[in-house]
Amino acid sequence: MWTQRGLIAGFSQVDPDPETIQAVLAYQPNSLSATPPEPSDPRAEPQITFPPFYAPDYWIGWYFLGEVYAQQGRVGDAIAAQQKAAEIEKNTSVTLTELARDCALQGKVPEARQALRDLLARSQHFHVPPYAIATIYAALGDKDQALAQLEQAYNQHSFLLDFLKVDPELDPLRSDPRFQDLLRRMKLQ
């Protein structure tokens, strides 16, 4: 099994784009851990533990902290964490995706739509997964666009569709017959 140091060394030999390296590292297990706070203190922050070779200003740490906050319903904190991640790492669409989604969830629709426009503009020059764009449209309540993006992800054979059945970011789409059809075609149902 590759370690993260091994992945970095291996990538330096094949020289993929930085977003690919970051995406792979982001999905590696044990890259960092988040310990939830005690149930008696719902406002306490999860404790993020970085492995020794990560600096505390590593953007993925802030990204995952934002993810934890979003799942807790602490959308304002999620936005702040994603903004910090975006300050540190300006060359990834991951943080912009989550920032747009979190803004939509907090009712900051103009900010969400602006971040979505920025992301769509970015997609003209860099790969932005349609699955990621679908999560933003889902948060904005635009089921037609969200499902169109998921269909595009299906046509591209996106590995992100492996999360289709369990991703809470897609919950607003679950009752739609088109979503159910996609689950069936993916053999996830």
Number of domains in the chain: 1
What's the CA angle centered on 38, arms 32 and 42, to 5 degrees? 100
What is the extent of the structural domain holding 57? 4-128
Encode pLDDT of 159-182 as tens digits: 999 999 999 899 999 999 999 999
Q: Is residue 124, in this structure, part of any structural domain at all?
A: yes
Lowest mean pLDDT among 22-26, 46-50, 121-125: 22-26
Q: Do 88 and 59 contact (CB within 8 A), yes or no?
A: yes
Q: Is residue 181, in this structure, part of any structural domain at all?
A: no
Where is pLDDT greater, at 69 or 137?
137
What's the CA angle centered on 66, arms 121 and 7, to 5 degrees? 75
Q: Is residue 45, in this structure, part of any structural domain at all?
A: yes
Return the pLDDT at 61.
75
Return the pLDDT at 92.
83
pTM above 0.75, yes or no: no
List % helix, strand, coil for the chain (3-state, nearest 5): 65, 5, 35
Q: Roughly what angle, to the nearest 10 degrees, separates helices 130-140 and 109-122?
A: 160
- What number of residues does the chain have? 189
Q: Is residue 135, in this structure, part of any structural domain at all?
A: no
Contacts of 60 (CB under 8 A, 6+ apart): 22, 25, 26, 31, 32, 54, 85
Q: Do 75 and 105 contact (CB within 8 A), yes or no?
A: yes
Return the pLDDT at 74.
83
Q: Is residue 85, in this structure, part of any structural domain at all?
A: yes
Does residue 18 surpass a pLDDT of 50?
Answer: no
Q: Is residue 189, in this structure, part of any structural domain at all?
A: no
Say which CATH number the domain at 74 has. Answer: 1.25.40.10
The owner of tokens 């595009």 is: 152
